[in-house]
Structure 1
């Protein structure tokens, strides 16, 4: 017969669908952010990204912190470190990234890209920021030791 404390301990360590869903959201968003950060860094280069930013009215120097935010933020999401705060910050970045696309229409396949993709990602990051981190995180693993 299980004692009350062993039942509580078992329930507190059980992985639920919520934990798996949160993990999948973290992995998908984190991978997307790292891919976009690496594209800015390795394909377009920081100078080229800065030129693009300047062409849409942003300071060119913003290429550096935005690229860093995407790379570090993506890694933190994947690892499960400060997920709620990181996702909230990245949602704000994605709302900003949506602005140049608003006049281009809905579909991201439109000339110069529509706003469907960045807005979808912003909403997804915002949803992740409203969830708890789930049990499948580096933070939880460190806490358990």
Structure 2
């Protein structure tokens, strides 16, 4: 991959990680309201914890470049759920376009990963070197 692509993906990864972390944190700090909202759209209350955890922990992982592809898939599934349960009623109104943009960013991260300044690169490089020298 060329350097421009890697830098662009790094920027996308870091910003996406921050956004999801903040959204997960806000869900946890107002969990009663989050549970009520999930109930109002027909989702069981435990899903509020699942989604908040994916956003909070996944945001940190993606920010640092750990398990980027896996978390990208989880983010994309979370966003598809949000779009189909809430946002599809008024597409491209309010902040729903933000969800579509995050969906595309998540799909990009799931497909391409992010190696530039990612901890995965250092972790797996060290493991690969151990396997070669053994």
Q: Which TM-score band (shorter chain)?
A: 0.7 to 0.9
Runs (4+) off by over 3 Å: none
Give the deviation of 1:141 after TM superposition.
2.1
Asked if residue 140 in structure 1 is aligned to residue 121 in structure 2, the reply is: yes
| Inter-partner Cα distance in structure 2 for 1:28 and 1:141 | 21
| Inter-partner Cα distance in structure 1 for 2:114 and 2:92 | 31
Asked if residue 23 in structure 1 is aligned to residue 23 in structure 2, the reply is: no
Number of equivalent positions: 124
**More helix as a share of residues:** 2
Higher relative contact order (CA 8 A, sep 6+): 2
Give the deviation of 1:135 after TM superposition.
2.6
What's the TM-score once normalised by structure 1's chain length? 0.78
Deviations 1:56-115 (A, max 9, x none): 111122111111110111011011011111101111111111121111232225xxxxx3
| Inter-partner Cα distance in structure 2 for 1:16 and 1:52 | 43
- Indicate which of 63, 74, 81 corresponds to 2:59: 74
For 1:106, the equivalent position in structure 2 comes to 92
Give the deviation of 1:144 after TM superposition.
4.2
Unaligned runs of 5+ in 1: 1-14, 110-114
What's the TM-score once normalised by structure 2's chain length? 0.84
Alignment of 1:80-119 (within 5 A): 80-99=65-84, 100-109=86-95, 115-119=96-100
Unaligned runs of 5+ in 2: 127-134
For 2:130, the equivalent position in structure 1 comes to none
SS at match of 2:51: helix
